[in-house]
Structure 1
Amino acid sequence: MSVEKTITDLLDKINADPKGIQGMSVVYHFQLSGEEAGTYQVKIGNNQATYSKEALEEARCTLELSDENFIKLVQGNMNPTTAFMMGKLKIKGEMGLSFKLQTILQTYQA
């Protein structure tokens, strides 16, 4: 599965049932390496999530990882804490938002 398909599938689930993002207003950047390298932006606000294949706004939390690990993370096949400790995931910005992202991902993985 591609990074773009992974993101759009996740956002479809979020926007169909925004309970996991209620009251949030945040921009995340995912700086990915690998075949699908680039910066991907996810913006959450007004009980909906949108995606852009470039950094259009300043992010409060940026996650750096490989495209393969990003897909594993979103699908629930990689523990974010373990990935961080092993250096497979780097976080810049507000650390608390990375924990909130983990909660969001867990909400929509089922």
Structure 2
Amino acid sequence: ILGGVEKPDVTFTVSDKDWLGITEGKLDATNAFMTGKLKIAGDMMLAMRVPTLFPTQR
């Protein structure tokens, strides 16, 4: 989110290329996390629910 959020519940750090891969179903979010391509800080339970927002990750 441009400008950020004051107190986010969860933060994702990922390259533009890898984020597009996740949202397009070309890169598995769990695999990206396990290989260090996706870094997560904050509420892990909430983070685990985010991939379900993308039909390709369900």
TM-score range, shorter chain: 0.7 to 0.9
Gaps of 5+ in 1: 1-40, 42-52
In structure 1, what is the Cα distance between the partners aligned to 2:5 and 2:36? 27
1:57 Cα deviation after fit: 3.0
The answer to whether residue 32 in structure 2 is matched with residue 90 in structure 1 is no
In structure 1, what is the Cα distance between the partners aligned to 2:51 and 2:5? 23
State the TM-score, normalizing by the size of structure 1: 0.47
SS at match of 2:11: strand
1:1-110 alignment runs, 5 A limit: 41=1, 53-106=2-55, 109=56
State the TM-score, normalizing by the size of structure 2: 0.82
Could you say which structure has the higher strand fraction? 1
Compare CA radii of gyration and give the structure with the larger one: 1
SS at match of 1:54: coil
CA RMSD of aligned residues (A): 1.3
1:63 Cα deviation after fit: 0.6
